[in-house]
Every structure is written in structure tokens, then in C-alpha cells.
Amino acid sequence: MSAIPETSTTLLRELSRDSQHVRWGEFVVRYRPMMEVFMRERFPSVDAEEAIQRTFVALAKALPSYIYSPEGTGAFHNYLTGILRHRALRIIDEERRQVALRAALAEAPPAQSAADDEERAEWRKSLFEVALCQYLADGSVKDRTKQIFIRVAVNGESPEAVAESLGMKRNAVDQIKSRAMERLRELVKALEEADNE
């Protein structure tokens, strides 16, 4: 791994007090090289820039409650790479869920080895993305319904956890997801038909 930067308690303290502090630039210059090397070594298939940006956003939120104590909580660079690792794993999970969701909508594997199958898979992916945008923009669909669908089908949260957090029954969450998936299939079909006209 790249050289581990020396931890500046003053820098951490100032950033924890103000998420818009001018010294964030200094923090990025100090820690980004280490984070880039970490991503290349541990997660070469993940978009490093995306993971690093998400880490900075998460860190800005977490710093106000973070207490730097090498003896108690460990070195700061371990804390930082722990957040980065979590964000990289989340990106991997999101990509897997998107592939699974597209496959479920297409009722077929998302991609084949032949060039024409790859082109068709890309075409269906773009149709799904348009359909998803249409569904989320549909004013007749309740915001709560959209929220539940995104949490379960897109973000991969368990139906039990979503139901509990919203004070609902698991069955109700399953029904909402099922109806939303059916609506998305209808939208994809309509887009396919429009494309073939």
C-alpha cells in the first residue's frame, strides 16, 4: 500500500466541526493516494473514483461523532480504509442486484457471449433504465410505494427489515414489490413495441 499519511488530530478536529471546511482539499491530497492504491490492490474491478467519492461523503457525515484514539479505536487510516472497503463492497452488491433485477425483468440471462446477444442485452438494459425512470416519475404511484420498491428491489434490503422499519407486514412489502415489477415489465414491453414500430 502507498505510504500511510501521518494523522493530524488538528485536521480531523477541524473537519469534524465543519463539513465544508477549506482544509478538506488538504485531507483529499493527503489520503487519496493511499485510497487509490487500496482500491487497485483489493478491488481492481470496482470504479475506484466512485468508491472514494462515496467514502468522502460518508466520512463527512461520520467525523462529527468520530473520536480519534489510536489505543482505543485504532489508527485513523484503518478507520478510513474500513469505510472505503464497505463502500466498495456496496458498489459490488449494487451491480449484482442491478444485473439480477434486469435479468428478472427480461426473464432471461442479462448477457450472452455472442456479439448480437451482448448488443441485445445492452438494449434491454437501456429499456429497463428508461422504464425505471418512468415508473419513479409516475405521479399516480405513491411515494411510499416507490420508496419500498427501491429499498427492496434496487438496494437489496430484506423485505423483513423494510416492513419492520415502516411498521408494515412482510406480505404487504412483497405485494408492493410484485406489483412494481409487473408494472416495470409492462413499461419495458411498451418501450419494446414502440421501438419496433
Who has greater pLDDT, 129 or 186?
186
The pTM (predicted TM-score) of the whole model is: 0.52
CB 68 within 8 A of CB 7: yes
Sequence ranges of the domains in the chain: 9-94, 111-196
pLDDT at 137: 78
Q: Which residue has the higher pLDDT, 12 or 114?
A: 12
- Fold of the 111-196 domain: Arc Repressor Mutant, subunit A (1.10.10)
Instruction: Render pLDDT for 23-68 as a digit per residue (tens, 0 to 9).
Output: 888 999 999 999 999 999 999 999 999 999 999 988 888 888 888 8
pLDDT recorded at residue 197: 47
C-alpha cell at 26: 488538504
What average pLDDT does the segment 147-155 reach?
84
3-state DSSP call for residue 19?
coil
By CB atoms closer than 10 A (0-12, 13-18, 19+), residue 3 is exposed
- What percentage of the chain carries pLDDT values higher than 90? 20
User: pLDDT tens, 82-107?
Assistant: 999 989 998 988 888 888 787 777 66
**Residues in contact with 40: Cβ distance below 8 Å, sequence separation at least 6, in sequence order:** 48
Cβ atoms of 101 and 132 closer than 8 Å: no
pLDDT digits (tens, 9 = 90+) for 129-146: 777 777 787 888 888 888
Residue 17 cell numbers, joined:
466541526
> What HEC string does 100-156 produce?
HHHHHHHCCCCCCCCHHHHHHHHHHHHHHHHHHHHHHHCCCCCHHHHHHHHHHHHCC
Say whether domain 9-94 belongs to CATH 1.10.1740.10: yes
